[in-house]
Structure 1
Amino acid sequence: MKSIVYSETGPASVLRLEERPVPEPGAGEVRVRVVVSGVNPTDWKSRRGGGDGQPLAFAETTPNQDGAGIVDAVGPGVTGFAVGDRVWTCMAAQDRPTGTAQEFTVLPAERVAPLPEGVSFDVGASLGVPAVTAHRALTVAEDGPRRLAPGALDGRVVLVSGGAGAVGHAAIQLARWAGATVITTVSGPEKARLATAAGAHHVVNYREGDPAAEIRAIAPDGVDLVVEVALAPNLELDQAVVRPRASIAGYANNGGDDVRVDIRANMVLNTRLQFILMYTMGAQALAAAAEDVTAALRDGALPVGEEHGLPLLRFPLAQTAAAHEAVEGDAVGKVLIDVASQGSGVSA
């Protein structure tokens, strides 16, 4: 099979295309024939590591956590999946050498979820890190639901920071599916257009005027949940618009690694400041996210593409390095890698 591998940390040039044997699934594992692989910031950050030239945990590693494809084989003890099932993956490369930038990948059965009929492989490969992270951010509030479904967020106001990003896009869609009023902040008109296409009810340009006043005019009683991509530069704004017992869920360190918290102001509001990293969320939260996201898929709530606010940027498997560079360069939209060989009979 064709596989992208790297043997040490470094720039995208460390990625190389190799021929590798098709792996066999072990107990509790499934083998997926990958149709589309999704690229996230976590993928290039893992490839970069703490510096160039560092050794890896495995002799060779295949990148990319997310993807979508078809179950090709199941190992002993696997229930709930059968050969031929369409699936989306999550954390394929976490503590494993077998990511999705290859024609076949093996991963634990709990790291795949059903991809409903009629939902494209493009959508499936765009889930994983963004959708699971968004689900977690929307289910950590003290007064909020622990699961998402239609009506779960009725009457709630959700503020999504950076609504044109992949996590922001998923958060807008999941929050709206669950019944919330969704406000998002963006940096300009083009991203405002994308956030609106994703389903945001209100879009605020944080670079113009008084964004806190604008948000307060939309939600005079305050925001219930904040999905925050840049906690350091945005916390002051978040604190100015949340209601008592609101949650501010930060899932990235864009804009700085350190943040100053006004203790008294947050104490008065009983604010919950929640940090999110998918890899340490725990099995229960991951399973809940997979189930709820799959339910949203069945309802058609998570479309992708330009017309739905998440442009798709495509690369062939042989150009995985270029795909990584696009994400590392903050490309707007979702970067996908077409893995399935031409003539395979599989359409993305």
Structure 2
Amino acid sequence: MRAISYSQPGGPDVLQLGDRATPEPGPGEVRVRLAFSGVNPTDWKSRSTTQPGPGGQVPDQDGSGTVDAVGEGVDPVLVGERVWIWEAAWQRPHGTAAEYTVVPARQTVLLGADASFELGAALGIPFLTAHRCLTVAESLPDRIGPGTLDGRTVLVQGGAGAVGNAAIQLARWADATVIATVSGPDKAQLAARAGADHVVNYRQQDVVAEVRKIAPHGVDAIVEVSAATNAAVDAQVIGMHGSIAMYADDGGAEVTIPVRAQMGPNARWQFVLVYTEPRRAKELAVEDVNAAVLDGAVRVGTDAGLPLHVFPLAETAAAHQAVQDGAVGKVLVDVTR
């Protein structure tokens, strides 16, 4: 099969297109003929720093495609089903930047007949991260669905990013009031298209003042892309028993929190990494994200506030570079090209 792999950590140039043996599914596993691979920041960070195994590493965690073989103990009825994949490359050699991948059956989710493969490849890490960010507060439910966040207010710091977009879409599906911050008018349009009720340009507006106009008693949850930069603002707008969920790393920056001011509301400052979050929380996230997909509540593309940047398999290195350079939207690799 055609596959991208790397045999040593480094920049995008370590990614090489070649032929690899098509993997066979073992007990409890399925093999997926891939359509698209989704590229996330953790993919290039892992490629940059982690030594792959002796056989090399196929990168990328997320993807979509069609089940074409199953291992022992897996119902063969799955063969031919359209699925989306999560965590394909986490502690495994078979990522999604290849024509085929093998994963445990539980890491494939039925995509349904109506959702596109592009949407399927864009789910995974961004949407599971967003789900975790929206459910860690003590005062919020641990499941998301229509009505579950009714009467709640969510602040999405960085509403034009992939996780920010996912958080907006999921929160609106759950009937929350959503405030998104952005850095300019183009990104404001993207956040609005995703479904944000209010958009604040943090370069031109006072975020604290604008948020307090909408939520005088503070917000219930903050989805935070840059905690080191925004901690002071977050501390001033978090409401009683609310949470600030930090899912991105500012390159090793440190966060300073005003302790006394956060004791009053019993605020929770939560670090989020999907790969190591509690297993049950991840299972609930997969179920809820899939329900949102089947409900038609999540979308991709410019009209959904998430422009797609699609690269052929041979240009996976360029796809990784685009994510590393901060491409606005979602970067996908078309494995069939």
Q: Which amino acid aligns with 1:241?
A: V
Q: Partners of 2:300 and 2:175 in 1: how far apart?
A: 20
Mapping for residues 80-229 of structure 1, pairs under 5 Å:
82-229=78-225
Q: Which amino acid aligns with 2:11?
A: P
SS of residue matched to 2:249:
coil
Given that 1:74 and 1:81 are in contact with CA atoms closer than 8 Å, whether structure 2 keeps it comes out as: no
Mapping for residues 1-348 of structure 1, pairs under 5 Å:
1-49=1-49, 55-79=51-75, 82-254=78-250, 256-340=252-336
Q: CA deviation at 1:56?
A: 2.2
Deviation readout 1:276-303 (Å, 9 max, x if unpaired) = 0011112211111111001000111110
Q: Partners of 1:334 and 1:251 in 2: how far apart?
A: 17
Deviation readout 1:189-244 (Å, 9 max, x if unpaired) = 11001000100000001112311001100111210000001111101111111111
Q: CA deviation at 1:59?
A: 2.8
Q: Which amino acid aligns with 2:48?
A: R
Given that 1:58 and 1:97 are in contact with CA atoms closer than 8 Å, whether structure 2 keeps it comes out as: no
Given that 2:178 and 2:197 are in contact with CA atoms closer than 8 Å, whether structure 1 keeps it comes out as: yes
Q: CA deviation at 1:255?
A: 6.4
Q: Which amino acid aligns with 1:195?
A: A
Q: Which amino acid aligns with 2:285?
A: A
Aligned residues: 337
Give ranges in structure 2 of 5+ residues lacking alignment.
none
Q: Which amino acid aligns with 2:69?
A: A
Q: Which amino acid aligns with 2:32?
A: V
Deviation readout 1:125-160 (Å, 9 max, x if unpaired) = 000000000001111110100111101101000000
Q: TM-score, normalised by structure 2?
A: 0.98
Q: Partners of 1:177 and 1:81 in 2: how far apart?
A: 31
Given that 1:232 and 1:255 are in contact with CA atoms closer than 8 Å, whether structure 2 keeps it comes out as: no
Q: CA deviation at 1:183?
A: 0.3
SS of residue matched to 1:118:
coil
Q: Which amino acid aligns with 2:195?
A: G
Give ranges in structure 1 of 5+ residues lacking alignment.
342-348
SS of residue matched to 1:332:
coil
Q: CA deviation at 1:58?
A: 4.1
Query: CA separation of 1:255/1:215 partners in 2, compared to 1, >3 Å: closer, same or farther?
Result: farther
Q: Once the two structures are aligned, what percentage of the paired residues are identical?
A: 58
Q: Partners of 1:80 and 1:174 in 2: how far apart?
A: 32
Q: TM-score, normalised by structure 1?
A: 0.95
Moved more, 84-93 or 283-292: 283-292
Given that 2:235 and 2:257 are in contact with CA atoms closer than 8 Å, whether structure 1 keeps it comes out as: no
Query: CA separation of 1:106/1:319 partners in 2, compared to 1, >3 Å: closer, same or farther?
Result: same
Given that 1:98 and 1:105 are in contact with CA atoms closer than 8 Å, whether structure 2 keeps it comes out as: yes
Query: CA separation of 1:82/1:172 partners in 2, compared to 1, >3 Å: closer, same or farther?
Result: same
Q: CA deviation at 1:254?
A: 2.5
Given that 1:116 and 1:294 are in contact with CA atoms closer than 8 Å, whether structure 2 keeps it comes out as: no
Moved more, 120-129 or 208-217: 208-217
Given that 2:70 and 2:76 are in contact with CA atoms closer than 8 Å, whether structure 1 keeps it comes out as: no
Q: CA deviation at 1:57?
A: 3.3
